[in-house]
């Protein structure tokens, strides 16, 4: 099993950041360029998530963020007093990990797919963990 972690800096309250190349590079740097297997990407934060969605048109991720903001109420009488309950809810809706296939060292994504880190309570410094079996 190979793996590692890397840091990313988010710059907005809510944004999706394309980490596809970071994952590809990490797999390559770990000497897995000729290997096939399964790669797990894991987000260790509770106000962020991971998802796979379209990368060609950046307005798709803007739309996803905008609708999540509209669907999850911002002015609800939340009990959690830090004020970031919507971010926690969105984190669970997106999920804490994604699984992708690797073929001969390359991520086997669909034509339009990119892997996104979903920031819901930024800006912050965040970590992403990965393992490959």
Q: Which parts of this chain interact with a second copy (CB under 8 A)? A: 1, 3, 36-38, 40, 42-46, 51-54, 57, 59-60, 62-64, 66-68, 70-73, 76, 78-82, 85-86, 88-89, 91-101, 108-113, 129, 131, 133
Distance of closest approach, residue 28 Cβ to a second copy, in angstroms: 20
What burial class does residue 56 get, using C-beta atoms within 10 Å of its C-beta: 0-12 exposed, 13-18 middle, 19+ buried?
A: exposed
Distance of closest approach, residue 58 Cβ to a second copy, in angstroms: 9
CB closer to a second copy out of 32 and 85? 85
As beta bridge partners, residue 115 has: 52
Distance of closest approach, residue 29 Cβ to a second copy, in angstroms: 19
The kind and range of the H/E element at 94 are helix 85-94
Sequence-distant (6+) residues with CB within 8 A of 101 are 36, 37, 38, 39, 107, 108
Distance of closest approach, residue 8 Cβ to a second copy, in angstroms: 14
CB closer to a second copy out of 29 and 133? 133
């Amino acid at each position: 099993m190979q793996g590692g972690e890397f840091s990313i800096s988010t710059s907005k309250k809510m944004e999706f950041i394309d980490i596809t190349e970071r994952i590809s590079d990490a797999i390559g740097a770990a000497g897995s360029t000729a290997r096939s297997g399964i790669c797990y990407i894991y987000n260790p934060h509770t106000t962020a998530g991971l998802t796979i969605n379209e990368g060609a048109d950046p307005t798709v991720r803007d739309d996803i963020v905008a609708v999540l903001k509209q669907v999850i109420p911002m002015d609800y009488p939340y009990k959690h007093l830090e004020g970031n309950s919507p971010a926690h809810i969105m984190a669970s809706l997106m999920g804490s990990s994604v699984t992708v296939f690797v073929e001969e060292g390359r991520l086997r994504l669909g034509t339009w797919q990119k892997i996104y880190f979903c920031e819901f309570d930024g800006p912050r410094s965040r970590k992403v963990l990965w393992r490959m079996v």
